[in-house]
Structure 1
Amino acid sequence: MAFYTNFHPFTNHFAGCIVPFLFGFGLECNAQNDTVALVNYTDKIIIKANIDTRNDVFFYKNEEENTQLHLKPNNRYRLFLSLDYEFLGVSVGFVPKFLGANSDENLKGESSFSDYQFRFFLGKWVQGLSYRKISGYYVRNTKDFAPNWIEGSDPYIQFNNLFSEVFGMSTSYVFNPDFSYRNIVYQNEWQKISSGSLIGSLHYDYNIFDLHEEGIVNKEKFFNVRLEPAYYYTFVLHDNWFLSANISPSLGLRFSKSESEVDGDPIIENNTYVTRRLAGGLNLGYSSKRVIYGLNLTFSADWYNEDSVSSTENDQFYGSIYVGYRFDPPRFVQRIFKPFTGREVAD
């Protein structure tokens, strides 16, 4: 399998070590009242379904050899189901078979995807926790390595035993009290007046990138940390409609440790990289007292240089649609949350 050997430098690129949970700050979970600018719906349970076309595609470039490797999982759509109530939110993501995902497994192989997210609203602070795992990738530019390969009839080069795991956290702070970050991301508030805000975020995650293929063992662990100053602005178009735009450049560090083995020879490398990212998007949404739905368009570009001739990029542009419903929680749920929210429970 000369292919794996030739591209061993490309697959050595991810890094990390685990991180402490987060800064200490007071828990501000008391019930919030409506204001002139905002309507609060945290006393309602919100269930939501979100379908997106995002794919974790990796680009490895070697300028000296003028070669590229595009790795992509065989996931056409991803479905997220979420529930939010008071200061707590949770969502689960997976690949929905009923939407025709992975319908061409005979050519691209089988991939799996799972994602779990938790979020905590602490006054102006938002704390996120997440776990994601993807396994099974194929080489999107297979023809670059197999000139006689025919698209649509020949199988792509596949890394069926390649998987990536991400244990992530983020801490965000909303500077403008009249701007609702929750309205555009979690839909448990409604913004009544057009407004914008700077939102400062610190992202930190621990990653594992693991490949075992016919004599090739490559495992890379890395820890990423990056600071992201984002700006969001929401235009209130109608009593129930809004359009929001955002842009967020960020800069970070990646601490990497790779452990590889080629034909029985172990190789261990430790590296530190400077990472850069630019992201943004548009969100058109509708919100009534009960029903919510909307459309998101998002772009992102992540890149860093491994050395003077090699670089890694992850560029994405994708869309998503969501629909949700708000309803009053059962009394037993209200009683559980009362010590944290101070809300009275009706008899």
Structure 2
Amino acid sequence: MNFFKAGLSILFSLFVLQVKAQSDTLNIKSYAEQVMIRLNLDTNLEKYILSQGKNDKIELSINNKTRTSVSVDYRVISATISFSPQFIPGNNEDDLKGKSSYTDLSFRFFPKRFIQNIYYKKVKGFYVENMKDFIPDWKETDAYLQFPDLKVLSFGGTTSYVLNKNFSAKSIYTHSEWQKKSSGSWIPYLDYDVSFFTNTINEVKNKEVQYKIGGNMGYFYNCIIKDKVNIAPYLSVGLGGQFSSSTEENKKKENEQFVTLRMEGGLHVGYNSEHLLFGARMSFKTYTYQKNQEAVENNNLYGLIYLGYRFAPPRVVKNTYDKVQKKIPVL
């Protein structure tokens, strides 16, 4: 079946950690006791840019797929089924750009005013996007130069603290709350990860391990329009360090240290009612550092369109969850 060829992933993508369900406050309404079903359409653009001056650069991108997913949320549990339909434009260009795979798994916790995010990401299969810079008469119907064995495996996280107690991060990230009044907050956070880059060219294996850590400061604002519409932009900048070691055919090659610059931002626009919700989100992440005379930049662009519906949980679901919660209090 095409459904399975496109990829079927059943995963637990988001956990909201809280000792007990939050109740409504003066500024925030909670939907923790309702079931939410959401249809999502999302896309990830991952790119690495290596440049020496303005006219000497290579752009490595993945053959991106637009994914469709259905998620079901109840209290702290979220389950998602996703796949990449071939009929969507851009999802059937493997002959020109090669095959790419993109897998990500994230867990987000909200202990009081902290936000703890932990993630895993695996990207494999890149192609050279700026072919015209190397072959002037190259056409878009020609095949791209491909690196099918280039793989990036990352484990990391962020630890954030919301300075304004009247700002609801859940109303943007998980839709399990709704912020009643417009409010913003400065949010300082620490980011950290380890990434493994592997590639094989002419049967020669190369590997690089990167450790990154950085401090960031961001400002998030949630503007509420006529009680049911919100516009939430954010922007953050950060400074950090990167430590890397690379090997070729299991022989130690070199160890290096770099200063990294990071910027992240985005915009969320949504509609929310007691039962119906829908909206769109766009975000970008970029970090860069200087390696010898070369600038290295990693960019990620994420887009999401969603449509959701909330309803009271069936009695059998609520009773089953309550029984499990007695044995596993963290739920």
* Shorter-chain TM-score tier: 0.7 to 0.9
The AA in structure 1 aligned to 2:278 is: Y
1:66 Cα deviation from its structure 2 partner: 4.7
What residue number does 1:142 align with? 131
Task: Find 2:105's aligned residue among 103, 116, 122.
Answer: 116
Is 1:72 aligned to residue 56 of structure 2?
Answer: no
Alignment correspondent of 2:22: 32
State the identity %. Answer: 36
Residue 244, structure 1, aligned to residue 228, structure 2: no
What is the aligned partner in structure 2 of residue 162 from structure 1?
150
- The reply on whether 1:127 has 2:111 as its aligned counterpart is no
* Counterpart amino acid of residue 56 in structure 2: T
CA shift, 1:121, in A, is 2.2
**1:60 pairs with one of 50, 55, 66:** 50
Give secondary structure in 1 for the equivalent of 2:322: helix
31, 44, 54: which one aligns with 2:34: 44
| Counterpart for residue 253 of structure 2 | 268
Question: Of Structure 1 and Structure 2, which has the larger fraction of its residues in strand?
Answer: 2
Which of 305, 320, 338 lines up with 2:290 in the alignment?
A: 305
Aligned to 2:320: 332
User: Distance between the aligned counterparts of 1:113 and 1:247, measured in 2?
Assistant: 25
Structure 2's unaligned 5+ residue stretches are: 1-16
User: Aligned partners of 2:213, 2:108: CA distance in 1, in Å?
Assistant: 19
Change (3 A) 1:172 1:83: farther
The residue aligned with 1:259 is: 247
Question: How far off its partner does 1:311 sit?
Answer: 0.8
Distance 1:270 1:84, change over 3 A: farther
> Does 1:293 find its partner at 2:283?
no
Unaligned runs of 5+ in 1: 1-26
* Pairing partner for 1:182 from 156, 170, 192: 170
User: What's the Cα RMSD here?
Assistant: 2.6
How many angstroms apart in 1 are the aligned matches of 2:68 and 2:243? 31
In the TM superposition, what is the alpha-carbon distance from 1:316 to its structure 2 partner? 4.9
Partner of 1:319: 303
Alpha-carbon displacement from aligned partner over 1:208-253 (angstroms, at most 9, x marks no partner): 1111121332211112112222111111102211111111111121
Would the aligned equivalents of 2:104 and 2:122 in 1 still touch at CA under 8 Å? Answer: yes
SS in 2 for 1:46: strand
Sort the Cα spacing of 1:289 and 1:316 in 2 relative to 1 into closer, same or farther, 3 A.
same
How big is each residue's C-alpha offset from its partner over 1:12-45, in whole Å with a ceiling of 9 and x where there is no partner? xxxxxxxxxxxxxxx8522222111000112223
Change in CA separation of 1:250 and 1:51 when aligned onto 2, cut-off 3 Å: farther
Contact 1:91 1:118 in 2 (8 A): no
Return the offset for 1:108. 0.8
